[in-house]
Each structure stands twice: as C-alpha cells, then as structure tokens.
Structure 1
Amino acid sequence: MRSSLVILSVLLALTASVAAGAPPDAPRPTPERLADTGGGRQLIIAEAPESGSTTGTLTWWERRRGRWTRAGSAPARFGAGGLTEGRERRQGTGTTPAGLYDLPYAFGVRPAPAGTAYPYRRVTDRSWWCQDNGARAYNRWAEPLPSDCGAAEAEHLIDYRTQYARALVIGFNYAKPVRGRGAGVFLHVDGAGATAGCVSVAAGAMDRLLAWADPAARPHIAIGTSAGELAVTRY
C-alpha cells in the first residue's frame, strides 16, 4: 500500500532547498516545504504522524515580508479511520481527506468570537448539512432540509452543540462535488474522541483561529502526514 501512495509534498521540497543553496539540514518553516500553499498569506497545517493516526498537530501560519511566521499551534484530532488521499476518499469511511483546501466560510451554534472577520453563519434549528448522494444540495448547507435530502443522510447541525459551537468549512469535495466521495468535512471543536472525518481542536484554539483568520489573506488548510505517506495536493 505504501508504494502506491504519493510522497508527501511537505517533505519533497527539500530538493528546492538544496537548489536554492540552503544546507540540506537547514530548518525551514513548514509552509516553505510545501509545493503549494494556496497562494494566500495565511495557511493552516493539520499534520498527523502517519495515515493511521487519529491525533496530531494543527499549526497556523502567516506570510510577513516574504517569510512564513507561525501564529499558533494546538493538538488536533482526525478521523477514526485515519487519513487518506482526498481524491481516493469514500463517504462513510471515517477518514480525513489529505490535501490542500480552501476555507469557504465559518459557522457555529454560538456567536462568532470577538475579532472575527471571516464570513460567519449562525446555526439554527432549521440548519442541516446534506450528505445524501441523490440530493441536489449534496455537500451543502441546507435551510430547511430539502425534500430530496433524507434526514438520515444529513447532519442536523444544532444537534452537535459542542463540536459545531464554532467551525470552519473545509472545501473538500465542495466546488464540484463528486457523489460518494464525502460531505461535511469541517475544522471544528473537539468532541469526545476521534472525528468522523473532520479535523478538530480544543474550543480555545478554534476561537483563536477564527479571530486570526483574515478572508483577505485567502487562508487554506493543508492536511497530511509527517511520515510522507499522503500527498498534499490541491483538489
């Protein structure tokens, strides 16, 4: 299985470091080891030790005067099924999709924390996220639940008051959804344990992230492994 996986882009840019004249063992900020950071001035990196891991680290970075600077860090949780490449993920596997994604908007049961500039949508008792592969609203917020989206194939967002107290939508399978690949992948507040495929952090870290994220800086999230098993490719 390992031989069929693409080597993690985070680790491959060492070649670029050598070509630029930097010593091979010179420490470099993690975003500078990525082949693609999304083109913005802010980047969130969710990194697990290996593909089977359910815990790891989330760090967030901003580019200042041409250099990446770490703005924060927190322990992170991943899917109960570990991580898998985004283009190969299947719905219902409990895996977190590796890749580089945009962050379309934030939402939450609670109000946005002070200082939040990101587009923020409040959850109500009419708010659902449709995961029904046969529905027109597949992998979309729906309010109210559409008639072609079965309630058993959707998340009633307000039922997850802890996890969705505050969250960011991860743009996995979002712009042009592929049926069966997966829906409702978020960066949200920790629950009781591993997630169903999302990335989660403690409530305080989520608040700091939302106060930090600047839509004008076009933040992205890179999800991958430090073991080099999965590709951080823009999907």
Structure 2
Amino acid sequence: MIATPRRRPLPRPRAVLLAASLLLTGCGGTASSDGAGAHGAPAAPAAVSAAPGAPAAAAPTVPQRIPGLGPRTWSQVPGDARQAVVVTGAGKNSPLSTVVLYRRTATGWQAGERWPAHNALRGWSDHHTGGDLRSPIGVYGLTDAGGLLPDPGTKLPYDHGRGFRSPGTGFEGESLEGSFDYVVAIDYNRTPGVSPLDWTRPLGAGRGGGIWLHVDHGGPTHGCVSVAERHMKELLRALDPALHPVTVMGDHASLAR
C-alpha cells in the first residue's frame, strides 16, 4: 500500500502506475558549508593584508556568467534564476558527469563543490524520447522534491511516500534499492508544482518523463542524474524556490554552444 504523501496527496492509481513505469522509462532500470555564500556556495576568500609598501592584492574575480556555458545555453537561463545546478557530461555518449551548484550573488555566480555523478547509459540527447537511454539536454526548473525517506529539511515541496520505492538492479548489476530515497524532479515534460510521482506528460508519453536528480546507485541511469546520498541531502537543503532554481544539463560540448 502506498502511504499518503505528506504535502499533496495523489490518486492512488497514478502513483502505482508511475512506480511501475519508472522501471521502464524513468530513473534507474532493470535492464540490466556554511560561509558567506549561502546554500552550499563557498564564501569568497578573505583578503590578505599586503606588506607595507607592497601593492594591494587584487580582489578575486567572480564570473558574471556560469563558466562553460555558451551563448545559446546561457540564453535559456531565466533572468530571475539565482541558483543553478549545472550537470556537465564527460561526453555526448558518456554516462559520467559532474554536478556543481551555483548561486548568483550581487557580484556574480559563485560555485559550490564539484560532485561526481551519473547520467543516462547512452549519454545525452537534444530530443529525448522515452526509452532512448539518454538524458535530455537543456535548462529546466527545479520546483518539487520527494522521496522514500522523510524530508531532510528542504524548502521545496516534499512528497514523502512509498511510491518512491526502487526495486531491481541497474545496468551494471548494482542494486537500485535506495535510489529514490531523495529526489528532485527535473521539469522536463512534467507539470511544475506537483509531486515527482505525477504522471502528466505535456509533450506526450513518447517524449519520456520521470527525469529526476536522485541518489546514485553506482551505475548509469535511464535518463536521470544521480549523485551520492550526502550530496542529495545537501542539495535538498540548499535549493530554495524563492531563488528560482534551475538545472542546466548536457554534455560539455553541447553546453558550450
């Protein structure tokens, strides 16, 4: 039986449908710091006093744009976004990537730590479709969270329930247990403002869906992005809807365009 979500209940048949469908089209698969920069961004280094008579040290430069993003990608980042989870794939056909949480301040974009991550088995796609085993390239909102485990302290709406169970094994034979202990829904082909378990697909079922940030299980995903559990908890605690967070995701060459 699926427990009633803590914030907004879902019709039981929908949650059941998605829990089964995730094994085929969504995440996983059976085939097989607290400084001056808030929300995880490191504080700027303190100025070092110059010796008498020596020139003053230049202030550290904070980029006005997120490094690695070309003009086409940058044009998709909303002007009101103050947080960006940047997922940079190692290559167009690679399942390996890194994740960095950026926070925009009055002086520019400050970066948090780099976290190792997995994306889809076959890499990335500009036109993701259900079952292509590629993660969608683009800029998407981050509006809703949930998980099998209780809310770790996020400001995002959090749906806690047994619909987030993740049975089976991944592409490399690894257990998927615990993969959905914590998730953040990526607003690709979904309706923002509802549970990650909601099955509505505005672009149609053929364009895939159920694309999440979730706990890493040690191998490639069907389309999601996964990081270590401790990093998922950090991310959940950092993301703030008042800062209009987005994810910018794709292989490094695509993001540089």
Same fold, TM-score > 0.5, yes or no: yes
Classify 1:29/1:54 alpha carbon distance in 2 versus 1 (closer, same or farther; 3 Å). Answer: farther
Match of 2:15 in 1: none
Does the 8 A contact of 1:188 with 1:198 survive in 2?
yes
Cα distance in 1 between the residues matched to 2:89 and 2:218: 18
Classify 1:210/1:189 alpha carbon distance in 2 versus 1 (closer, same or farther; 3 Å). Answer: same
Does the 8 A contact of 1:45 with 1:59 survive in 2?
yes
Cα distance in 1 between the residues matched to 2:156 and 2:255: 32
TM-superposed deviation, 1:56: 1.2
TM-superposed deviation, 1:230: 8.2
Cα distance in 2 between the residues matched to 1:189 and 1:171: 18
Match of 1:118 in 2: 156
Pair 1:209 & 2:247 matched: no
Match of 1:171 in 2: 187
Q: If the length of structure 2 is used for normalisation, what is the TM-score?
A: 0.62
TM-superposed deviation, 1:81: 1.5
1:132-166 CA deviation, whole Å, 9 max, x = no partner? xxxxxxxxxxxxxxxxxxxxxxxxx3235411010
Q: Which runs of 5+ in 1 are unaligned?
A: 1-25, 128-156
TM-superposed deviation, 1:50: 1.6
Q: If the length of structure 1 is used for normalisation, what is the TM-score?
A: 0.67
1:157-181 CA deviation, whole Å, 9 max, x = no partner? 3235411010100011114232301
1:86-131 CA deviation, whole Å, 9 max, x = no partner? xx21111111001100112000001121x3211111022xx3xxxx
User: How many corresponding residue pairs?
Assistant: 172
Match of 2:75 in 1: 35
Task: Describe how 1:18-57 pairs up with structure 2 within 5 A.
Answer: 28=63, 31=66, 33=69, 34-38=74-78, 39-57=80-98
Task: Describe how 1:190-201 pairs up with structure 2 within 5 A.
Answer: 190-201=216-227
Match of 1:180 in 2: 206
Structure showing the higher strand proportion among its residues:
1
Cα distance in 2 between the residues matched to 1:166 and 1:62: 22
> What secondary structure does 2:131 align onto?
coil
Does the 8 A contact of 2:87 with 2:97 survive in 1?
yes
Higher radius of gyration, 1 or 2 = 2
Give the 4+ runs in structure 1 shifted more than 3 A.
26-30, 228-231
Q: Which runs of 5+ in 2 are unaligned?
A: 1-60, 168-176, 192-201
